[in-house]
A = this chain, B = another copy of it.
Amino acid sequence: MILVRQEIGEVLRDLRQQKGRTLRQVASRASVALGYLSEVERGQKEASSEILASVAEALDVPISTIMRQVGDRLSVLEGLQTFPDVVPDELVASVEPELSLR
Chain A residues near B (Cβ < 8 Å): 1-6, 46, 48-50, 52-53, 62-68, 70-72, 74-75, 77-78
**With A70-B71, A71-B70, A71-B71 known to touch, is A78 a contact of B64 (CB < 8 Å)?**
yes
User: Are A2 and B53 in touch, CB under 8 angstroms?
Assistant: yes
Assembly of this chain: how many copies?
2
The distance from the CB of A41 to the nearest CB of chain B, in whole angstroms, is: 15
User: Are B62 and A78 in touch, CB under 8 angstroms?
Assistant: yes
Q: Which 5 A-B pairs rank lowest in CB-CB distance, beginning with the nearest?
A: A68-B71, A64-B74, A64-B75, A67-B71, A3-B49
Extra contacts besides A3-B53, A62-B74 (18): CB < 8 Å: A1-B50, A2-B53, A3-B50, A4-B49, A4-B63, A5-B48, A5-B49, A6-B49, A46-B49, A62-B75, A63-B74, A64-B74, A64-B75, A64-B77, A64-B78, A65-B71, A67-B71, A68-B68
Q: How far is the CA of A94 from the CA of B93 in the complex (A)?
A: 42
